[in-house]
C-alpha cells in the first residue's frame, strides 16, 4: 500500500462518512489500482485531462466512485468545500460517476456493464482517429454477471483492441453475499481466454505486480488485455475486510471513521480534519 493509496482510502471513507451513505467496501478494494493508474498512466490534472491524446480510465463499477473522487480531490480537480458534498442535493459529486457534472470521469457509469461497453467504443474511436492512447477499465466481479460484459468482451476481441486493458477488482463479494453463492464466476481465466483476451492474474494490492501487469499489457498486439486482480473487500480497515455488509448502502459513524483512519495510519490532527470535512484544505 503506497502513501497515495492510503490517502485515497482515507479520503474515500471520509467522503462517504459526510454523505451518510455509499459503498466503502469496493472503494477500498480498488484503491491500489486507482492509485497506480492515476499516478503512472493518467494525466487527470487540470487542464491535462482535456487533451485528446490522454489515456482514459472508465470506472465501470461506478458505485466505487468515492475512490475516484478521492484521487481527484488531491489533483486539483475538485474544490476543498466539495469534500462534504457527496450525494447531496445539487452537488456535482453524484453517487455514481456523472460525465456532465465531472467530465474527467470520461463517461457516466453505475448501470453495471455499460461502462465497459462505452470503453470499447472509446478504444475504437481512438483507433479511427489514429490516436495511440490507451483505455483502462476497472470492472467489478459481481458486474461480470451482466450479459453486456460478455458482449463487450466479444466485441473488443473481434476488433483486436490492443489499446484496451480491463482490470478486474476481484474481491469475490458483491452486494449481498459472496459471488460464489450468488452466481459463480470461475473458471474466470478460462472464460476470458476463450473470448481471445490476453489474461494475467495478480495480487491487486501489490503495486509492483500491478506495474508489471500493466507493462505487459502494453506489449500485447492484436488482442485486448485483462488483468484479474485478486483483492480484498474493505482492504486496509480491520472491521470491513472480507465483510459483505460493507459493500454499500451503509452509514459510517464517527467512531467507525476514527477506527478506520487509525487502521490507515492517520494521526489525531488528520483525523480531526477528516471529521470536520477540511481534509482537502
Q: What structural domains does the chain harbor?
A: 3-276 (3.40.50.970)
Give pLDDT tens digits for 164-203.
Answer: 999 999 999 998 889 999 999 999 999 999 999 999 999 9
CB burial of 32-51 (b: ≥16 within 10 Å; e: otherwise) equals bbbbbbbeebbebeeeebee
Query: Torsion-angle region of residue 128: left (phi > 0), alpha (psi -120 to 50) or beta?
Result: alpha
Does residue 6 contact residue 236 with C-beta atoms inside 8 Å?
yes
Give pLDDT tens digits for 118-130.
Answer: 999 999 999 999 9
- The pTM (predicted TM-score) of the whole model is 0.96
Assign 161 a pLDDT band (cuts: 50, 70, 90).
very high
pLDDT surpassing 90 at residue 253: yes
pLDDT surpassing 90 at residue 47: no
**Can you read off the three cell numbers belonging to residue 200?**
494475467
Assign 50 a pLDDT band (cuts: 50, 70, 90).
confident
Assign 46 a pLDDT band (cuts: 50, 70, 90).
low
pLDDT surpassing 80 at residue 67: yes
- What backbone torsions phi and psi does residue 221 show, to the nearest 5 degrees? -125, 135
pLDDT surpassing 70 at residue 80: yes
* Residue ranges with strand state E in 184-248: 198-203, 225-230
Amino acid at each position: 500500500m503506497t502513501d497515495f493509496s492510503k490517502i485515497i482510502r482515507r479520503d474515500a471513507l471520509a467522503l462517504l462518512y459526510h454523505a451518510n451513505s455509499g459503498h466503502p467496501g469496493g472503494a477500498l478494494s480498488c484503491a491500489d489500482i486507482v492509485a497506480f493508474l492515476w499516478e503512472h498512466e493518467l494525466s487527470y490534472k487540470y487542464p491535462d485531462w482535456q487533451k485528446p491524446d490522454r489515456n482514459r480510465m472508465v470506472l465501470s463499477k461506478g458505485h466505487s466512485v468515492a475512490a475516484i473522487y478521492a484521487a481527484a480531490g488531491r489533483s486539483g480537480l475538485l474544490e476543498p468545500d466539495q469534500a462534504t458534498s457527496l450525494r447531496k442535493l445539487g452537488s456535482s459529486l453524484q453517487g455514481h460517476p456523472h460525465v456532465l457534472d465531472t467530465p474527467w470521469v470520461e463517461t457516466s457509469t453505475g448501470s453495471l456493464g455499460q461502462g465497459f461497453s462505452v470503453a470499447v467504443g472509446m478504444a475504437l474511436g481512438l483507433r479511427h482517429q489514429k490516436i495511440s492512447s490507451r483505455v483502462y477499465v476497472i470492472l467489478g466481479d459481481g458486474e461480470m454477471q451482466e450479459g453486456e460484459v460478455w458482449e463487450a468482451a466479444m466485441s473488443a476481441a473481434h476488433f483486436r483492441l490492443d489499446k484496451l486493458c480491463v482490470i478486474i477488482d476481484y474481491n469475490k463479494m458483491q452486494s449481498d453475499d459472496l459471488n460464489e453463492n450468488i452466481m459463480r464466476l470461475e473458471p474466470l481465466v478460462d472464460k476470458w481466454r476463450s473470448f481471445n483476451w490476453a489474461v494475467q492474474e495478480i495480487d491487486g494490492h501489490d503495486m509492483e505486480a500491478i506495474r508489471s501487469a500493466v507493462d505487459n499489457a502494453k506489449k500485447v498486439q492484436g488482442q485486448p488485455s485483462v488483468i484479474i486482480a485478486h483483492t480484498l473487500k474493505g482492504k486496509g480497515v480491520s472491521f470491513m475486510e472480507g465483510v459483505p455488509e460493507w459493500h454499500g448502502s451503509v452509514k459510517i459513524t464517527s467512531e467507525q471513521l476514527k477506527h478506520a483512519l487509525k487502521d490507515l495510519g492517520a494521526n489525531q490532527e488528520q483525523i480531526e480534519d477528516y471529521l470536520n470535512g477540511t481534509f482537502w484544505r
